[in-house]
């Protein structure tokens, strides 16, 4: 965890690359969900064979609607958690518990940056808000299978990207530097 300008620039590029990939996962995931709903659905009136014309004429389109809300909210919470963890990874004292709030508070104080503290607390509030939105979505929208699939797909993408791909790329980059 060096702190020279070159290292800082490389770390910034890594962060931007991860966030770009996270955005791409969101965009492709929700696009896939819309396509699945379009191909598995039927209109309340058999006269209309596609979702656009069905809804345009005021009828209900009934398709398998994987919960994009559960997907997006879980995906974003996992990405935020990973990125915050990486932010404090270099500043953390070896052997301390990153799951401890005291460690985060000590780390924030060690950095002595009001902006980092503000970002950390804002992201924490955002995570709590999105958890409340997940609860609301689970109470009022979608079938159990649609919610389970949306949540599961988010977790699978998170495992694939953060636990496999990024670790593999990091090992390869470290090996050659």
pTM: 0.73
Q: Are 67 and 37 in contact (CB under 8 A)?
A: no
> What is the average pLDDT value for the chain, to the nearest integer?
79
As given in the structure block, the two tokens for residue 139 are 């109470």
As given in the structure block, the two tokens for residue 121 are 């607390």
Q: If you average pLDDT over residues 71-79, what whole number do you get? A: 92
Residue-wise pLDDT tens digits, 114-133 = 677 788 888 888 899 988 98
- On the question of pLDDT at 59 being above 50, the answer is yes
Strands 42-43, 61-62: parallel, antiparallel or unpaired by DSSP? antiparallel
- On the question of pLDDT at 158 being above 90, the answer is yes
- On the question of pLDDT at 61 being above 60, the answer is yes
As given in the structure block, the two tokens for residue 137 are 């979505």
Amino acid 54: pLDDT = 87
Q: Which residues are catalytic?
A: 69, 142
């Amino acid at each position: 965890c060096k702190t020279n300008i070159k290292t800082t620039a490389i770390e910034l590029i890594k962060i931007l690359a991860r966030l770009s990939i996270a955005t791409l996962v969101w965009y492709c995931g929700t696009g896939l969900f819309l396509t699945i709903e379009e191909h598995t659905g039927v209109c309340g009136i058999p006269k209309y064979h596609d979702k656009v014309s069905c809804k345009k004429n005021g009828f209900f389109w009934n398709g398998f609607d994987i919960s994009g809300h559960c997907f997006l909210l879980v995906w974003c919470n996992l990405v935020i958690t990973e990125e915050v963890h990486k932010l404090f990874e270099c500043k953390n004292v070896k052997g301390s518990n990153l799951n401890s709030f005291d460690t985060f508070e000590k780390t924030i104080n060690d950095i002595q940056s009001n902006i980092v503290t503000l970002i950390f607390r804002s992201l924490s509030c955002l995570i709590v808000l999105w958890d409340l939105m997940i609860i609301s979505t689970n109470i009022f929208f979608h079938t159990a299978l649609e919610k389970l699939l949306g949540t599961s797909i988010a977790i699978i993408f998170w495992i694939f990207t953060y636990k496999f791909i990024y670790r593999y790329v990091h090992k390869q980059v470290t090996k050659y530097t």
